[in-house]
A and B are shown apart, each in its own frame.
Chain A
Amino acid sequence: DAGVIQSPRHEVTEMGQEVTLRCKPISGHDYLFWYRQTMMRGLELLIYFNNNVPIDDSGMPEDRFSAKMPNASFSTLKIQPSEPRDSAVYFCASSSGPLSYNEQFFGPGTRLTVL
């Protein structure tokens, strides 16, 4: 299995631009998670989906952030407009069931730099 696939691996953009991060979960996994990692705040859950439906988006910082999962094999996290404080590593992860009983697998991350 290829594991969780994220693209791009690195993104550098200017403040005000739209940024779209992409994720392909492991085939057959019903749960998909988006995390953000920074030095100041550590690893934070932004949103997670179950069967393509957003279940909890309480971690999404503000309206500039949006996430979609149009089908079981693809999800996007969009930031519009981007700001320098959005600079972070964004991880996508997936699991075959609730995390209390199932392992979560992380992708390699997208390192976002907003200038």
Chain B
Amino acid sequence: GQQLNQSPQSMFIQEGEDVSMNCTSSSIFNTWLWYKQDPGEGPVLLIALYKAGELTSNGRLTAQFGITRKDSFLNISASIPSDVGIYFCAGINTGTASKLTFGTGTRLQVTL
């Protein structure tokens, strides 16, 4: 099935650094979501974006819904060890209000 392209595929950063990852698609999405998955667990929703151009924050996390509706980015400021995990973007198309298309994931490692 279709997947969203995420980059980078993996990141190794030091504690305290800021992180930026993005997600692109050839299709338009009307909702963008960002999830985090810890080892051995299911994904957990971090941020939901509903309008093109929208910028939303959740603590140290900030995400934006691209103007073209074909991309989104997620920033994490002042990373901490518990930020380790896999981050997924996901999009929802008009007319498929309950079908998520997931990105390929960005694996984040934080070193002390």
Binding site for B on A (CB under 8 A): 4, 31, 33, 41-45, 48, 50, 55-56, 59, 91, 93, 95, 98-100, 103-104, 106-109
Is there contact, CB below 8 Å, between A108 and B97?
no
Complex interface: chain A residues within 8 A of B102 (CB): 42-44
Taking residues whose C-beta sits less than 8 angstroms from the other chain, chain B's interface range is: 20 to 34
Q: Give, as a whole number of angstroms, the nearest-CB distance from A89 to chain B.
A: 9
Is there contact, CB below 8 Å, between B100 and A104?
yes
Rank and list the top 3 A-B pairs by shortest CB-CB distance, nearest first.
A106-B42, A43-B102, A98-B97
Is there contact, CB below 8 Å, between A100 and B97?
yes
Is there contact, CB below 8 Å, between B45 and A103?
yes
Q: Give, as a whole number of angstroms, the nearest-CB distance from A32 to chain B.
A: 10
Is there contact, CB below 8 Å, between B41 and A100?
no
Q: List 24 A-B contacts (CB under 8 A).
A: A31-B98, A41-B3, A42-B3, A42-B105, A43-B88, A45-B1, A45-B100, A48-B99, A50-B98, A56-B96, A56-B98, A93-B42, A98-B98, A99-B31, A99-B92, A99-B98, A100-B50, A103-B48, A104-B100, A106-B41, A106-B43, A108-B40, A109-B40, A109-B42
Complex interface: chain A residues within 8 A of B92 (CB): 99-100
Query: In this assembly, does B7 line the interface, its C-beta being within 8 Å of a C-beta of chain A?
Result: no
Query: In this assembly, does B44 line the interface, its C-beta being within 8 Å of a C-beta of chain A?
Result: yes
Residue of A nearest to B44 (CB): A106
Asked, given contacts A42-B104, A43-B88, whether A100 binds B42 with beta carbons under 8 Å apart, the answer is no
The listed residue (A56, A95, A100, A104) touching B30 by CB distance below 8 A is A100
The residue among A33, A43, A104, A107 with the most chain B CB atoms within 10 A of its own CB is A43
Which chain B residues numbered 22 to 80 have a C-beta less than 8 Å away from chain A?
Answer: 30-31, 40-45, 48, 50
Q: Give, as a whole number of angstroms, the nearest-CB distance from B10 to chain A.
A: 13
Complex interface: chain A residues within 8 A of B97 (CB): 98-100
Is there contact, CB below 8 Å, between B1 and A91?
no
